Amino acid sequence: MSLSNDSEKATTPSASDPSLLNQSGKNSSKVVCAHCSSIIIQDNIAQLVDNRSFDLPLIYQKKEAPSLEKEALSAWWVVDDMFHFENVGFTNAHEGMKYLTCADCEIGPIGFVDLETKRNFVSLERVLHK
């Protein structure tokens, strides 16, 4: 299958989309990188949390911006064990935060690590589902 066919089949549903979850309450489809289509999370691994607000840095920053630009996001795939990811990179801790990136294309952040609970949060808006 070509990359363009994969991209056409991938979607970015909203957190209220019932097709996101399977019968066990986990992700019903694979979560893939929006830029290179690498698998980030296999199906039936992550839980959906749609009420946790977090300001995640923008993927593309303006060079003239005086500080790190962020956007408020609230819908997340939560992965409790970092070893359940397929292709995720972890940044070094910076100002008390660790961010998640695609390990293949290194685009990110696509999410963050809660250093207190060690839970990993991947933004629904920064990935695709197929």
23, 77, 126, 130 from 19: Cα distances, Å: 10, 14, 18, 11
**pTM for this predicted structure:** 0.86
**What is the residue-level pLDDT of the chain in tens, covering all 130 positions?**
334 444 445 666 666 677 889 999 899 999 999 999 999 999 999 999 988 999 999 999 888 878 889 999 999 999 999 999 999 999 988 788 899 999 999 999 999 999 999 999 999 999 999 8
CATH class of the domain whose range is 3-129: mainly beta
